[in-house]
Amino acid sequence: MSAERYDVVFIGSGINSLAGAALLARGGRRVLVLERENRLGGAIWTAEITQPGFVHEVLASWHPLFVGSAAYAELADELHALGLEYLNTELPTGWLGPDGRAAFLTTTHERNVEELEALAPGDGAAWDATVAQFMPNADLSFGVLTTELWSRAGAGLATKAYRRLGRRGLVEFGGNVLVSARDWLTETFDSSSTHGLLAPWVLHTGLGPEAAVSGFMTQVIAVAIELGGMPVPKGGGVKLVDALAGIVRAGGGAFETGRDVEAILVENGKATGVRADDGETIATSRVVANVTPTQLYGRLLAGADLPEAAREAGRRFRYGRAEMQIHFALDEAPSWDGDDRLGQTAVVHLTPGLDGVSRAVNEAERGLLPAEATVVVGQPLAVDPSRAPDGKGILWIQLQELPRRPTGDAAGEIDTRDGAWTDELKERYADRIQARIARHVPNLESALLKRVVLSPTDIERADVNLVGGDIYSGSCALDQNLLWRPRPSLPGHTTPIRGVYHIGASTHPGPGLGAGSGTIVAQALLRENRARLALSGLGRHLG
Ligand SMILES: Cc1cc2nc3c(=O)[nH]c(=O)nc-3n(C[C@H](O)[C@H](O)[C@H](O)COP(=O)(O)OP(=O)(O)OC[C@H]3O[C@@H](n4cnc5c(N)ncnc54)[C@H](O)[C@@H]3O)c2cc1C
């Protein structure tokens, strides 16, 4: 094996690795990032996949989590100097029901209060109260999502909460965290339009509206949208990837793409390096694996001496619903029927409302193609017009309620055969969705230049961590979330092997572009190195 040239080797180049590597490189650590695909970024993939001049986010698109992250707070100046520019909008999200009723959430609190009050007397006041109650403890809510919970920092957060809220207050806070979206929405707001506006956001946390914690997650997202809008990098997510990679390179770090790591090398319970699938080995005592637990324990550490709990965590880690993406390139801007604001809104959800989301989630979880899916209509040009030639249109469509292996169609129209996501199946399902959108966007089909559909199988092919097309790399049900992610038997980011750290969407704080797990581990490694340097300095001094 070659001599150790790198302090830390990352497996995979998703946002968590890129942010973690950038923080470490900036802190003087020599880092290497190994990526099996021929591009960096994992689920951030910007490409002209329909027509030249139409810049699509093939997978992830919206960056509120990154812009609100600890990594961005730390790296923003350098990222901007390297060409990253965030654009934003005052109209981040809206809802459109089948009967043409619509509702919007803006970035101005007073406008939101007015908007919701107009939907049902009292709903505006309820929103005002929601934000007023949320804000004084926002540091605790966001803290849960940015802290290593099984650690001194996690204990510190709990102590802070106890000191501030007292025993009863803490119990109440915890209870409010557990509430489902259905219970929170129906207890708080009267209008079914308000429910329709907020309920679909639960899908973006990997949950359904009846799941524990989904009410808390909906509140966090709704408040975050009001505060932060729907930022995207000008020119696409690739600009963030390039800028983070620039920080790594400037700090002496390196990237190798087309490098599938097949094993983490271990001696005496400690990491000694990694081996790529071409047989080459790279020596290092710190490996940060941005993979699923299935891959970590079932492949990369298959040859290591592991406790049964680790093997079991790898075997029992559950994946969530599958997802599909549809990309439209249009010869003109989509012209929406109804409220003028629809065409300027970054993310519009088409659904009958809370019950519509609930029904589609339930159908997907029972293996069915939903009869009336929640259609997430992303309009990147509403925020960044530079992504298409003047006057043209782009739609980014996301369908988050799909089975990984369909056993039937809730509408009784599509033959799902043996459950495989064939090209025929994805195109037929995309036809149903296209017809739904066309009911509200009458020029969709006449303006259509090209449609590209990615099935759950295509999505996994693009990023091996998205198992079965689960875009969140593992079910976010409570027993695999927060304190218990990735698995109750093995939570957090350390592993039974010394020097091997586990990051990525499968680990706390879960999926999204917040770079939380990469940041938590980078900070821990920077502290560890500081402690080691201090000790060696002391040793020299004493010697
Ligand atoms: C379709 C889609 C839409 C989304 N939309 C949004 C959005 O708008 N906003 C948002 O905040 N989040 C969104 N998400 C979620 C978010 O993108 C992901 O949770 C996040 O990007 C995951 O980052 P990660 O660091 O876990 O790694 P990933 O992005 O999953 O990257 C992991 C990388 O590791 C590589 N890898 C795995 N194993 C190996 C190996 N053995 N050797 C070498 N390389 C390996 C993979 O090839 C991959 O490139 C979306 C996700 C998808 C798929």
pLDDT digits (tens, 9 = 90+) for 399-441: 999 999 999 999 999 999 999 999 999 999 999 999 999 999 9
Q: What is the pLDDT of residue 534?
A: 57
- Cα 518 to Cα 524: distance, rounded to the nearest angstrom: 10
Mean pLDDT of 81-94: 98
Angle between helices 516-542 and 70-81 (to 10 degrees): 90
- Cα 281 to Cα 259: distance, rounded to the nearest angstrom: 11
Nearest to 495 by CA among 279, 295, 260: 295
2 pLDDT above the threshold of 70: no
522 pLDDT above the threshold of 60: yes
**pLDDT tens per residue across span 197-210:** 999 999 999 999 99
Q: Closest residue (by CA) to atom 21 of ligand 1?
A: 43
Q: What is the DSSP letter of 300?
A: I
**pLDDT tens per residue across span 303-325:** 999 999 899 889 999 999 999 99
Instruction: List the structure tokens of 258.
Output: 């087309």
234 pLDDT above the threshold of 80: yes
Establish whether residue 32 lines the binding site of ligand 1, counting it when its CB lies within 6 angstroms of any ligand atom.
no
Mean pLDDT of 179-202: 98
144 pLDDT above the threshold of 90: no
For ligand 1, the distance from its centroid to the CA atom of residue 129, given in whole angstroms, is 36
287 pLDDT above the threshold of 70: yes
Instruction: List the structure tokens of 270.
Output: 């400690």
For ligand 1, the distance from its centroid to the CA atom of residue 60, given in whole angstroms, is 8
Mean pLDDT of 125-145: 89
Q: What is the pLDDT of residue 283?
A: 97
Instruction: List the structure tokens of 518.
Output: 């990469």
249 pLDDT above the threshold of 90: yes
Higher pLDDT, 218 or 155: 218
Mean pLDDT of 35-62: 98
Nearest to 120 by CA among 182, 206, 183, 193: 193
114-118, 220-224, 539-543: segment of lowest average pLDDT: 539-543
Nearest to 22 by CA among 85, 62, 60, 79: 79
Establish whether residue 106 lines the binding site of ligand 1, counting it when its CB lies within 6 angstroms of any ligand atom.
no
Contact call for residues 426 and 324 (beta carbons, < 8 A): yes
4 pLDDT above the threshold of 90: no
104-118, 305-319, 358-372: segment of lowest average pLDDT: 305-319
Q: What is the pLDDT of residue 66?
A: 96
In order of 170, 317, 332, 336, 369, the CA distances from 105 in angstroms are 30, 36, 26, 18, 29
Q: What is the pLDDT of residue 531?
A: 63
Residue type, 323: E
Of the pLDDT bands very low, low, confident and very high (cuts 50, 70, 90), residue 174 is: confident
- Cα 237 to Cα 56: distance, rounded to the nearest angstrom: 9
Q: What is the pLDDT of residue 1?
A: 62
Q: What is the pLDDT of residue 535?
A: 53
For ligand 1, the distance from its centroid to the CA atom of residue 44, given in whole angstroms, is 7
Of the pLDDT bands very low, low, confident and very high (cuts 50, 70, 90), residue 542 is: very low
Pairing assessment for the beta strands 8-11 and 287-290 based on DSSP bridges: parallel
Mean pLDDT of 168-181: 89
Q: What is the DSSP letter of 470?
A: -
541 pLDDT above the threshold of 80: no
In order of 60, 382, 520, 533, the CA distances from 204 in angstroms are 11, 20, 22, 42
93 pLDDT above the threshold of 60: yes
Establish whether residue 490 lines the binding site of ligand 1, counting it when its CB lies within 6 angstroms of any ligand atom.
no
User: Phi/psi at 8 (nearest 5 deg)?
Assistant: -140, 135
137 pLDDT above the threshold of 90: no
Establish whether residue 12 lines the binding site of ligand 1, counting it when its CB lies within 6 angstroms of any ligand atom.
yes
Mean pLDDT of 369-383: 98
Contact call for residues 517 and 507 (beta carbons, < 8 A): yes
DSSP assignments along 219-260, one per residue? HHHHHHHHHH---EETT-THHHHHHHHHHHHHTT-EEE-S--
Q: CB count, 10 Å around CB of 85?
A: 12
Nearest to 294 by CA among 454, 509, 466: 466
- Cα 462 to Cα 453: distance, rounded to the nearest angstrom: 13
Establish whether residue 15 lines the binding site of ligand 1, counting it when its CB lies within 6 angstroms of any ligand atom.
yes
Establish whether residue 16 lines the binding site of ligand 1, counting it when its CB lies within 6 angstroms of any ligand atom.
yes
